[in-house]
Structure 1
Amino acid sequence: MNNELIFKDPDWFSHNIPSFSAIFDRIKPKRILEIGSYEGRSAAYMIEKALQYHQEVELFCIDTWEGGQEHIGVNDMNMVERNFLHNMQVMQQRYPGLKLHQLKGYSHPAMMQLCTQGLEGTFDFIYVDGSHEAPDVLMDALLAHRLARKQGVIAFDDYLWTSLPYGQQDHYLLVKPAVDSYINTYNRKVCVWRNFPLYQLYVEKIAD
């Protein structure tokens, strides 16, 4: 087996590392949930960073490996999934303290299943980077709130992403309106962390 990590995608994650590093140094997550794993670049980083604080770390990765609208005709999702599986196998071999759960499917039923398994309120860090359609993002946010512990952090990727030019956006295909709706509705129960680049948004859960 090739023991090197394989990434063929454009690097959509590394520019977030300074923010993730600061957040992980602060909350020291031990149980992490990732919605949208792709080839596992962000998962590999989170594993290595979290293991700086703990001997054992638990990571749940949820993805369909079907891709979204932006991947159709552009990315070979079968290859993406194979690379993810390879990369996570490499990480498990490197780090015996890693407990990895790979959940293939849509995020909403998978997250509901985690709730029924008694994992509500137990995740230190949740990374939401799945569907970019507003209804999906809103449901991801609501379920993430249930799964996060108090003082846990939910990170929303692509908060300012748009597939269309500014001024022509379709709100159904935007992350921001869904995240804003969650934050406005739960305003007494969340705290938005400031002083981070706004392309991602980081929200601390302060109450159920």
Structure 2
Amino acid sequence: MQLFLASTSPARLQTLRQVGIVPSVLDHSVDEEALVEAATASGPIPAGEMVQLLARAKALDAASTAGVTGLILGGDSLFEVDGEIFGKPHTPERAKQRWYRQRGKTGVLHSGHSLLHSQYGEIVAEVGFATHTSVTFVDDVSDDEIDAYIATGEPLKVAGAFTIDAKGAGFIESIDGDPYTVVGLSVAALRRLVRQLGFSYTDLWSA
């Protein structure tokens, strides 16, 4: 069974490859900011619900344009600190503000997973759920270290402005939960979803 990844995240792609799965990457045209704005027009919604909404939208959009047969995985991540939800900062200024706020604190990384069974672009079945993991940052990260980290560009393109599998790893004190959720794709969740659709997870492994 072929797995298609409806995500532009290098970390999700690398995670799959590390566990023996080589997916085909599909483009999607989902305007994430517009979707979030529409979803929260009448009030905020929980982070777990939001990442699942975004993950499903990406998978559905990719399925409708690619017309493929196989399993299509959409994913999305958001970081929650003190009850406030953050996505990618995009700018150095926002990244710095977030690091000043989360330094020495514990937040929750939410990752959504949407898996579709597609036959020539037609959705036969779909499943999905969100996972979450707590992340505690060191309390002694200096302003100079924050500036240096932001200057690498790495935190600008990831939820919460940090990574656990690259340069940001040294600023994380501990995690409580599935580490792959922090990367953006829970492998255990993927296995459960594949089984729920009636397929074998091991069939996704490359030869």
- TM-score, scaled to structure 2: 0.26
Flag the structure with higher strand content: 2
